Amino acid sequence: MGTSRSPSGGGKHRSIEVKFKNMEYPVILSPAFIVEMNTITQTEDGISFGAACTLSRMGDVLKQAVKTLPPHQTEVFLAVLEQLRWFAGLQIRNVAAVGGNIMTASPISDLNPVFMATDCKLTLMDKDGSRVVQMDDTFFTGYRKTVVRPREVLVSIEIPYSKKGQFVSAFKQSPRREDDISIVTAAMSVTFSPGTDVVDKLRLSYGGMAAVTAMAKVTANRLLGRRWGEELLQEACSTLAEEMTLDPSAPGGMVTYRRTLTLSFFYKFYLMVLQKLRKQGMNVEKVGSECLSAAEIYNPEMPSSVQIYQTAQDKQGQDDSVGRPMMHVSAMKQATGEAVYCDDVPLYENELYLALVISSKAHAKILSIDTSAAEGMPGFVCCLLADDVPGCNSTGPIEYDETVLAQGQVTCVGHIIGAVVADTQFHAQRAAKAVKIQYEELQPVVTIQEAITAQSFFKPMRIIQKGDLEAGFKQADHILEGEMHIGGQEHFYLETNITLAVPRGEDGEIELFVSTQSASKTQLLAAKALGIPANRVVVRVKRMGGGFGGKESRSTILSTVAAVAANKLKRPVRCMLDRDEDMLITGGRHPFYGKYKVGFLNSGKIVALDVTYYANAGNSKDLSLSVLERCLFHMENSYHVPNIRGQGFLCRTNLPSNTAFRGFGGPQGMLVAENWITDVAQSLGKPADEVRRLNLYAEGDLTHYNMKLEQLTLDQCWDECLSRSGYHERQAAIDLYNRQNRWTKRGIAITPTMFGISFTATFLNQAGALVHIYTDGSVLLTHGGTEMGQGLHTKMIQVASRVLGIPCSNIHISETSTNTVPNTSPTAASASSDMNGAAVKNACEILVKRLEPYKNKNPKGKWRDWVNAAYFDRVSLSANGFYKTPDLNYDFESHTGRPFNYFSYGVGCSEVEIDCLTGAHKNLSTTIVMDVGHSLNPAIDIGQVEGAFMQGVGLFTLEELHYSPKGVLLTRGPGSYKIPAFGDIPKHLTVSLLRDAPNQKAIYASKAVGEPPLFLAASVFHAIKDAISASRAESGLSGPFRLDSPASAERIRNACNDRFTKLCPPAEPGSFTPWSVQV
């Protein structure tokens, strides 16, 4: 642990050092009000900015200079401004200082390459005086080290005017365009001999290619005296490829991609300079029209959206809100910050805080645990280990194959070994870090491929088979095989896991305030660990700040430990995980690996499919078997395949247990299906939309698990989506665009989805409700579902309002709790509105029947009159409701029965544009047609469609979890893990809810909406693949190719084979230890 003093100009970096590196800074100096460090002056050579000037202020001054100065003087300023456009967010730029950016010496800094390439000068000062140093290749002396002496202070930076004949450009490539750190950043400055195109001076500066911001001096020197043309370009690229190398094991990975980016950036710079030279009348090569887009600077369009839904019928009463776009009942409270979440519950007088002690090894025996250092820390109260669990230490949502606290061995990094309880969060977390654990390391299994090699699987495996596979392949005109890997996904709910456990002082009673989707499972597992009956445990859920499946089962690993601590100490105990802890401990969406063999006719008709799925389950089964089963149920997506076999294996690995996530295995199964149908189209040279349409299910078809399709609306969704998107017109325009542009390509794809609605575990398809009517006419409604922002409570109020015939304003839902509605199913599987809505309807109908005699006696009376009449007549104004989904009874052994109540259908069409040189892509347009039956609430349903779609965009194009070969999660926060930003929303987004499509299988003819739309983001993935195909065609490559998910910028760029990628071949697998592995 180190101690130091620090100026706070690099405050963001300092906070990371304090949190993750245990650094201590007893003295923090703020330069914000030191005049000399905030002064901006114009000098003879440029503009001098005080080191404490904020980036926003610097940007404003430079913009003004660009407006007023001659263009030849502002090249450097424009390069700085281009980098500032994508530098963090506005809130950060408003407080971040330019000096802090320089002095943190980040090797992936956006601005330092510009400062180095343009000879910026720094004024340094200490008590003995000042000196001026130039930011050149000697300024950074090592990783996060500079020539600045220990007691020197950076006072100012002078950004120079550019000169006549000087051209400057800056580039940045990051996983996400907005508010993201760089993968590679660059700045390039060339100065020509007066009146010529001969290079007089050249500076090429790169971030992300070494431990420091690096200059490509060899390349630059070799190009001096050369004319700016094709020969120079070829020489530059071949020399850069040799000079800007990276160790294959370099931190950050993406080595081939990063090397290729150095060439791509130079090529873009080359084109930009050629254009500027021609504008000045120089006799240089003309940039071909097909290459112009490569030199364009990205300027985002103003986005637009259209939402289309069917309005409520005219005959419907004004107080009947079902089918109307009613606002979420908590929307205003959430927007103003008044909504109460778990951590908003006020502190109890004697409350304590808990911090977890977790494993740093993926697989190891625990040799010893030393808590002595922690016990001596300020505020320490106690340390909990496995022996402190009074009941059963075994836990798990289905099988008890996990531990509350590790005993004897750990099986993943993040395995909970113990907990430290202290008086404050800071003291608890500090003491937890002081617990010393000695391990004997064992060989971990981390990836799916390692699990296959080691035959490390959970049992059972699953098979679904139909038809005669052998005969099907014999019938086929063509057979092709393929494979793909689908990466996992972090839930990234806004509110991390939290529990507040409050012992009630007698009979072992305890109350748990938990952010969970599964109140009853939380109750049962806490009772099991405490060794008490479940009737002593009350779990209360007001609302969650997001769940997405991540709080269906994994929330219990925290709530159970908190309950044990509160029970032991007889005091309230609170714990809310920090983001890095939550990401490390709680698991996410299952990574999948799929292998397939598909047989098809010359027409494109699929006649046989043999597919095998491997899911990375992690270190316990959790809900993985159900996830795998749903994957197999959806392995054909929306396509009829007469002869089919699907096999599924659960890989047992030493990663934190993966769990439920919106779609629950369905998206992984369906993406593999869309992959093989795309392969079929590409191999035949047929339009992908025709092959998809040819194979779509029809009314009355049997699925591969022998369920007859009724009320099928796939064809309606397909036709409407084709029409609304203008698919064929867009396709023609894209073909023209791609013929006219070499380095940017566009692609389009239309994909269907068919999602089965019900829990695949039959017993979970039940729900309860409790309704109280008070004598003032107000109604308190409780049901078994939990609110996580999806609008479930709003819809339940609408249902109750319709049945009771009263305004929604008369009805209130306070919370979900185990002492009002027992034995609840998790709020999951998209079925919560169906089941809880039916239970609410049942309870309300009971009450309406009880009130009927009083309405008949007083037909002109009002609601409150009838309620009071019933009360004075001693009639109960409280009722329980219950519902179970009928006719669900699928058996995996006999392959008989119905696994689903019905299906939700949808079709999405997306158009994208990719930059073939960098792998960046733009989502240009998306049209979605979704069958939600008769929508209970179009506003909420469209919000669910849009939200699910964007979460799918993250899954399929952006979000990547990186693990080290030893099973350590490397992406533990928003700095390294990127969810979609505003700029990732399609520029034109249309969502249409299918008209006149009632569903007789659910409440008021509605349909589930939570999970089904997510997969429609596969249209973006396959539009990207379509664009990549156009790029590969330029290099003479055609036919199917492998593109794993997510289609990140790295994968897009590497798939666009061209002369630049050939100069940067990847290292031979097995010849190095990679920074991260594909799990």
Q: How far, in Å, CA of 839 to CA of 769, rounded?
A: 5
CA 849, 854, 857, 858 torsion-angle sign: negative
pLDDT tens digit sequence for 760-774: 999 999 999 999 999
pLDDT of 785 > 70? The answer is yes
pLDDT tens digit sequence for 219-263: 999 999 999 999 999 999 999 999 999 999 999 999 999 999 999
Output phi, psi for 493, to 5 deg. -60, 150
Q: What angle do CA 524, 530, 531 make, to 5 degrees?
A: 85
pLDDT score at 15: 66
pLDDT score at 7: 52
> Choosing from 231, 1011, 1034, 1068, which is the catalytic residue?
1011
Mean pLDDT for the stretch of residues 976-998: 97
pLDDT score at 29: 80
8 A C-beta contact, residue 429 and residue 355: yes
pLDDT score at 21: 65
8 A C-beta contact, residue 245 and residue 1069: no
pLDDT of 498 > 80? The answer is yes
At 79, which helix (H) or strand (E)?
A: helix 75-85
Q: How far is CA 331 from CA 33, 335, 343, 801, 848, in A?
A: 40, 6, 19, 19, 30
Name residue, tokens 């608890």: 428
Q: How far, in Å, CA of 791 to CA of 827, rounded?
A: 12
Start-to-end CA distance of the chain, whole Å, equals: 33
User: How many CA within 13 A on the CB side of residue 245?
Assistant: 11
pLDDT tens digit sequence for 305-345: 999 999 987 788 888 999 999 999 999 999 999 999 999 99
Q: What percent of the chain has pLDDT over 90?
A: 94
pLDDT score at 3: 42
Q: What percent of the chain has pLDDT over 70?
A: 98
Confidence class for position 26, pLDDT limits 50, 70, 90: confident
8 A C-beta contact, residue 466 and residue 704: yes
pLDDT of 191 > 80? The answer is yes
Strands 145-146, 811-812: pairing is: unpaired
pLDDT of 69 > 50? The answer is yes
DSSP-assigned letters across all residues of 740-761: H-SSEEEEEEEEEEEEEES-SS
pLDDT score at 883: 98
Q: How far, in Å, CA of 576 to CA of 582, rounded?
A: 9
Q: How far, in Å, CA of 767 to CA of 790, rounded?
A: 18
pLDDT score at 114: 98
8 A C-beta contact, residue 898 and residue 706: no
At 907, which helix (H) or strand (E)?
A: strand 902-915
pLDDT tens digit sequence for 658-682: 999 999 999 999 999 999 999 999 9
pLDDT of 12 > 60? The answer is no
Amino acid at 89: G
Output phi, psi for 262, to 5 deg. -60, -35
pLDDT of 2 > 50? The answer is no
Name the residue among 779, 424, 473 with its Cα closest to residue 607.
473
Confidence class for position 464, pLDDT limits 50, 70, 90: very high
Mean pLDDT of all residues belonging to the chain: 96
Task: Note the helical H segments in 199-300.
Answer: 217-223, 230-243, 255-279
Mean pLDDT for the stretch of residues 747-768: 97
pLDDT tens digit sequence for 680-721: 999 999 999 999 999 999 999 999 999 999 999 999 999 999
Q: How far, in Å, CA of 275 to CA of 292, rounded?
A: 9
Find the length of the chain.
1079
8 A C-beta contact, residue 435 and residue 369: yes
Higher pLDDT pick, 109 / 14: 109
pLDDT score at 11: 58
Name the residue among 173, 170, 154 with its Cα closest to residue 102.
154
pLDDT of 986 > 80? The answer is yes
Is residue 1011 among the annotated active site residues? yes
Judged on CB neighbours under 10 Å (0-12, 13-18, 19+), 574 is buried
Name the residue among 1066, 554, 477, 475 with its Cα closest to residue 826.
554
Name the residue among 933, 998, 965, 748 with its Cα closest to residue 253.
965
Output phi, psi for 93, to 5 deg. -60, -25
Confidence class for position 1, pLDDT limits 50, 70, 90: very low
Q: How far, in Å, CA of 713 to CA of 885, rounded?
A: 22
pLDDT score at 261: 98
Residue 281 DSSP code:
T
DSSP-assigned letters across all residues of 283-347: --PPPPGGGGGGGPPP-PPPPEEEEE-PPPPTTS-TT--TTS-PPPTTHHHHHHT-S--GGGSPP
3-state secondary structure at position 32 = coil
3-state secondary structure at position 129 = strand
At 47, which helix (H) or strand (E)?
A: strand 46-50
CA 36, 37, 41, 47 torsion-angle sign: positive
